[in-house]
């Protein structure tokens, strides 16, 4: 049986070739229709089904009716309901969001003893022409290693044309584009006169993409000097290298080499396209900098805020031993706070509480760790006259950052000493910063905590069916004065998710609707992890995939965008009735105010987590027939042909919300919910609609 299609669809739908059911499906998926009764009948006859390979086949549509209490004032939803969680995992920051192009810029990644690995730096020239060694010769005491480049040619034997030297490929290639400007900074000294080419070269080392020469006379070259200039590219290679070459014999010492694109997000060093993808989510908070990354396998490898502040050349960097890579810590505590400010979002600092994966500081030795957290808060919030506030001011931010939440550790509740040490942190922070909300790692879902807390962490990684079922997870939670829930990490993982499947995203959408409905007890939630570099997949799936020059959102990312209006909105009552007890979609209805248009909108989200298409009639109580403004209302549908479909660099927008304007109704509003889909209606209310002052909330599914 072929799909029956509306005679006059209000959204343009092209005729599919006969027999091409999959193509038909992908067209129908964008059709949200206001139907006449006969049209409704036609849609009842529409049929779709996924077979075992996830391909739509045929089955009869169920019909459901959604009734929304459109004129309700609604219940306040958490102002901070949906945010983002950044962890330095998968090279999310180093080689990712932080726009530094040089990998191992200070030559510390191989450790502080010599000889040390200089990976990924490599020589340009033969062994008898150039010799690269590491020496403890740096100007910076906390990162003592510098590179010595001994030029063996040029004195008797001629160097090859273009000279010899050293090159850095960045993080799996440097994105150099013709016409763009890059700021190059490095520290250098020499035992001879310097005549050095500093250039971006192509991956195959055959083309020069941008070049400057540095000439320093012998007497001026003996001491360390900082050099800084722009390179303007005249050619493009997305996988380029930065090369230092010379034909002058002698030794050159190189240290703290940095290259930044001139253009970064808000001029603060963040890779623009990636930060803009975060901005698009309108996140209400930024949890940072991890995760397990905060803890470390061993305490000495944990992320410690004070090692990540101050001039970048002086930061020691550290080896993150949970995700197993080096970070120069250019993206440090200050930069995270700056990012939160730039994204107009609330920073949530997760600090190390003296616990790693393998060790817990005992309560009698916890005081320095407590002081460390207090110093970190002074850095963020103290006046610029305070000890640590002054460092922040010297870094360019005299005004305090708006830190109002901290998490005492990550996933540590069950580890030795957590409970005792928690109280030491809690008391000290509340004494000095009573307005700061404190997040415990202990789960209060099944009973009260053994300690006071404003919020508690809840993490869930599971398969699609489980997460879908967890849409009701917080329905039964007691509405008491106890801590609110922070679902600070959640995602579908395992074989249901691949590296970011439709199936995972749709289950997450249903879970998020459950969070919206419970936003009186769930104050915050963030998907995890946020980023993955295609060359360093430590964790699958992730919201945003990137390489040196491209990026795309997984379906999970795009689901997040459909919830960007939820924080601070009003939850409306609604009911859903199925036909003959058949399956029903998971639905939420919220009202939001849009400051840009100064308009009121009702946002309805409906998730179909089944293999059959659903037709849903939408009815509003309290909203007159002319209450919705057309065509300022839209419908967005996210689905795909197969449940395991993913986006990719070659098809980055295969699964994205397909948005159309809604047209005027002929009678009832009829929405098609394709198999495994989320459909979001954004309906602008006419200013004539008046809202009831009575708070009524009920929802039947
Ligand atoms: O999100 C990846 C990891 O999952 C986080 O580091 C940790 O908190 C959780 O176990």
Three-class SS string for 310-340?
CCHHHCCCEEECCCCEEECCCCCHHHHHHHH
Residue matched to tokens 């691949």: 498
Q: In sequence order, what E strands does 493-573 have?
A: 522-527, 531-533, 544-546, 551-553, 570-571
From ligand 1's centre to the CA of 294, what distance in Å?
Answer: 10
From ligand 1's centre to the CA of 292, what distance in Å?
Answer: 5
Looking at the DSSP assignment, which residues form a beta bridge with residue 98?
Answer: 94, 270
pLDDT digits (tens, 9 = 90+) for 674-683: 999 999 999 9
**Omega into 135 within 30° of 0, i.e. cis?**
no
Nearest to 377 by CA among 389, 365, 367, 368: 389
Q: Which ligand 1 atom lies nearest to the CA of residue 87? A: 6
Instruction: Give pLDDT, residue 447.
Output: 85
Establish whether residue 530 lines the binding site of ligand 1, counting it when its CB lies within 6 angstroms of any ligand atom. no
Establish whether residue 411 lines the binding site of ligand 1, counting it when its CB lies within 6 angstroms of any ligand atom. yes
Looking at the DSSP assignment, which residues form a beta bridge with residue 478?
Answer: none
CA-based angle 73:468:510, to the nearest 5? 30
Check if 83-96+265-562 and 122-261 are the same fold. Answer: no
Establish whether residue 542 lines the binding site of ligand 1, counting it when its CB lies within 6 angstroms of any ligand atom. no
For ligand 1, atom 5, which residue shows the shortest CA distance? 291
Establish whether residue 539 lines the binding site of ligand 1, counting it when its CB lies within 6 angstroms of any ligand atom. yes
From ligand 1's centre to the CA of 656, what distance in Å?
Answer: 26
Mutate to test the pocket of ligand 1, among 411, 415, 486, 497 (most ligand atoms within 8 A of CB): 411
Mutate to test the pocket of ligand 1, among 412, 489, 531, 538 (most ligand atoms within 8 A of CB): 489
Domain at 122-261: CATH code: 2.60.120.260
Mutate to test the pocket of ligand 1, among 321, 325, 407, 410 (most ligand atoms within 8 A of CB): 410
For ligand 1, atom 9, which residue shows the shortest CA distance? 291
Residues, the chain: 701
From ligand 1's centre to the CA of 482, what distance in Å?
Answer: 25
Establish whether residue 294 lines the binding site of ligand 1, counting it when its CB lies within 6 angstroms of any ligand atom. no
The token pair at 409 is 């550790």
Nearest to 348 by CA among 398, 312, 401: 401
Q: Which ligand 1 atom lies nearest to the CA of residue 461? A: 4
Residues sharing a CB contact under 8 Å with residue 641, sequence separation 6 or more, in sequence order: 22, 25, 26, 54, 55, 56
Report yes or no: 305 and 334 within 8 Å, Cβ to Cβ. no
SS3 21: helix
**Omega into 529 within 30° of 0, i.e. cis?**
yes
Spell 233-260 as b/e; 16+ CB within 10 A means b.
Answer: bebbbebbbbbbbbbbbbebbbbbbbbb
Calpha distance 17→582 (Å, rounded):
31
Residue matched to tokens 């440090």: 332
CA-based angle 448:450:451, to the nearest 5? 105
The torsion angles phi and psi of 344, rounded to 5 degrees, stand at: 55, 50
Calpha distance 246→149 (Å, rounded):
10
Instruction: Give pLDDT, residue 59.
Output: 39
Annotated domain spans of the chain:
64-75+569-685, 83-96+265-562, 122-261
Calpha distance 653→24 (Å, rounded):
19
The backbone region for 235, taken as left when phi is positive above 0, alpha when psi lies in -120 to 50, beta otherwise, is: beta
Looking at the DSSP assignment, which residues form a beta bridge with residue 32?
Answer: 671
The torsion angles phi and psi of 621, rounded to 5 degrees, stand at: -85, 130
Nearest to 513 by CA among 614, 619, 461, 584: 584
pLDDT digits (tens, 9 = 90+) for 500-542: 999 999 999 999 999 999 999 999 999 999 999 999 999 999 9
Mutate to test the pocket of ligand 1, among 84, 88, 290 (most ligand atoms within 8 A of CB): 290
CATH architecture classification, 83-96+265-562 = Alpha-Beta Barrel (3.20)
CATH fold of 64-75+569-685 reads: Immunoglobulin-like (2.60.40)
From ligand 1's centre to the CA of 380, what distance in Å?
Answer: 25
Calpha distance 527→536 (Å, rounded):
19
Burial class (CB in 10 A: 0-12, 13-18, 19+), 579: middle
Burial class (CB in 10 A: 0-12, 13-18, 19+), 543: buried
Burial class (CB in 10 A: 0-12, 13-18, 19+), 481: exposed
Establish whether residue 77 lines the binding site of ligand 1, counting it when its CB lies within 6 angstroms of any ligand atom. no
From ligand 1's centre to the CA of 302, what distance in Å?
Answer: 14
From ligand 1's centre to the CA of 361, what distance in Å?
Answer: 21
From ligand 1's centre to the CA of 130, what distance in Å?
Answer: 44
The 10 Å Cβ neighbour count of residue 122 is: 12
% helix, strand, coil for the chain, step of 5: 20, 35, 50
Instruction: Give pLDDT, residue 39.
Output: 30
Beta-strand relationship, 146-151 and 658-661 = unpaired
For ligand 1, atom 6, which residue shows the shortest CA distance? 291
Q: Which ligand 1 atom lies nearest to the CA of residue 85? A: 1
Which portions of the chain are predicted below pLDDT 50?
A: 1-60, 693-701
From ligand 1's centre to the CA of 398, what distance in Å?
Answer: 33
Residue matched to tokens 């409970």: 419
Q: Which helix (H) or strand (E) holds 182?
A: strand 181-190
SS3 22: helix
Q: Which ligand 1 atom lies nearest to the CA of residue 489? A: 1
Establish whether residue 508 lines the binding site of ligand 1, counting it when its CB lies within 6 angstroms of any ligand atom. no
Instruction: Give pLDDT, residue 256.
Output: 98
- Whether this prediction's pTM lies above 0.85 is answered by yes
Instruction: Give pLDDT, residue 445.
Output: 86
Establish whether residue 87 lines the binding site of ligand 1, counting it when its CB lies within 6 angstroms of any ligand atom. yes
Mutate to test the pocket of ligand 1, among 85, 93, 291 (most ligand atoms within 8 A of CB): 291
Establish whether residue 528 lines the binding site of ligand 1, counting it when its CB lies within 6 angstroms of any ligand atom. yes
From ligand 1's centre to the CA of 540, what distance in Å?
Answer: 11
The token pair at 251 is 């030794």
DSSP for residue 205: S
Report yes or no: 321 and 296 within 8 Å, Cβ to Cβ. yes
User: Max CA-CA distance within the chain?
Assistant: 93
């Amino acid at each position: 049986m072929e799909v029956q299609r509306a005679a006059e669809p209000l959204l343009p739908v092209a005729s599919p070739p006969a027999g091409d059911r999959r193509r038909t499906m992908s067209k129908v998926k964008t059709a949200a229709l206001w139907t006449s009764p006969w049209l409704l009948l036609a849609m009842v006859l529409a049929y779709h089904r996924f077979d075992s390979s996830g391909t739509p086949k045929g089955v009869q549509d169920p019909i459901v009716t959604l009734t929304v209490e459109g004129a309700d004032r609604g219940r306040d939803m958490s102002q901070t309901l949906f945010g983002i969680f950044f962890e330095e995992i998968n090279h999310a920051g180093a080689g990712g969001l932080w726009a530094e192009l040089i990998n191992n810029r200070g030559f510390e990644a191989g450790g502080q003893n010599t000889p040390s690995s200089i990976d990924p730096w490599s020589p340009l020239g033969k062994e008898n022409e150039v010799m690269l060694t590491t020496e403890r010769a740096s100007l910076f005491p906390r990162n003592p290693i510098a590179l010595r480049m001994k030029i063996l040619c040029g004195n008797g034997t001629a160097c090859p044309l273009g000279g010899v030297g050293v090159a850095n490929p960045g993080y799996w290639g440097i994105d150099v584009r013709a016409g763009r400007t890059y700021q190059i900074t490095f520290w250098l000294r020499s035992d001879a006169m310097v005549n050095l080419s500093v250039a971006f070269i192509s991956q195959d080392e055959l083309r020069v993409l941008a070049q400057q020469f540095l000439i320093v006379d012998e007497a001026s070259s003996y001491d360390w000097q900082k050099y800084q200039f722009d390179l303007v590219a005249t050619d493009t290679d997305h996988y380029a290298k930065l090369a230092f070459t010379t034909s002058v014999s002698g030794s050159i010492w190189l240290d703290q080499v940095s290259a930044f694109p001139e253009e970064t997000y808000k001029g603060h060093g963040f890779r623009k396209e990636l930060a803009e993808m975060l901005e698009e989510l309108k996140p209400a908070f930024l949890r940072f900098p991890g995760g397990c990354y905060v803890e470390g396998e061993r305490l000495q490898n944990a992320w410690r805020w004070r090692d990540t502040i101050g001039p970048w050349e002086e930061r020691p960097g550290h080896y993150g031993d949970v995700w197993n890579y080096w970070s120069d810590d250019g993206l440090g505590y200050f930069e995270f706070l700056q990012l939160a400010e730039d994204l107009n979002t609330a920073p949530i600092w997760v600090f190390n509480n003296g616990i790693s994966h393998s060790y817990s500081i005992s309560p009698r030795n916890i005081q320095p760790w407590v002081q460390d957290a207090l110093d970190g808060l002074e850095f963020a919030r103290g006046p610029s006259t305070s000890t640590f506030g002054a460092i922040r001011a010297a870094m360019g931010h005299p005004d305090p950052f708006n830190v109002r939440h901290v998490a005492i550790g990550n996933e540590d509740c069950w580890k030795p000493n957590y409970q005792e040490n928690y109280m030491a942190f809690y008391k000290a922070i509340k004494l000095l910063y009573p307005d700061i909300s404190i997040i415990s790692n202990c789960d209060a879902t099944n009973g009260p905590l053994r300690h006071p807390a404003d919020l508690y962490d809840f993490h869930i990684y599971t398969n699609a069916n489980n997460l879908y079922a967890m849409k009701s997870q917080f329905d039964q939670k007691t509405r008491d004065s106890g801590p609110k829930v922070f679902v600070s990490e959640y995602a579908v993982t395992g074989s249901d998710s691949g590296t970011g499947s439709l199936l995972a995203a749709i289950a997450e959408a249903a879970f998020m609707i459950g969070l919206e409905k419970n936003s009186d007890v769930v104050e915050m939630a963030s998907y995890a992890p946020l980023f993955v570099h295609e060359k360093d997949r430590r964790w699958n799936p992730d919201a945003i995939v990137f390489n040196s020059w491209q990026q795309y959102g997984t379906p999970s990312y795009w689901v997040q965008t459909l919830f960007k209006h939820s924080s601070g909105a009003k939850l409306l009552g609604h009911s859903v009735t199925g036909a003959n007890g058949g399956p029903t979609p998971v639905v939420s209805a919220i009202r939001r105010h849009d400051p840009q248009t100064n308009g009121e909108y009702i946002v309805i989200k409906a998730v179909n987590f089944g293999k059959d298409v659903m037709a849903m009639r939408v009815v509003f109580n309290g909203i007159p027939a002319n209450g919705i403004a057309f065509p300022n209302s839209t419908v967005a549908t996210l689905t795909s042909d197969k449940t395991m479909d993913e986006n990719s660099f070659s098809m980055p927008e295969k699964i994205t919300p397909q948005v159309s304007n809604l047209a005027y109704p002929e009678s009832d509003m009829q929405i098609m919910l394709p198999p495994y889909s989320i459909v979001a209606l954004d309906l602008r209310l006419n200013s004539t609609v008046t809202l009831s002052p009575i708070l009524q909330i009920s929802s039947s599914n």
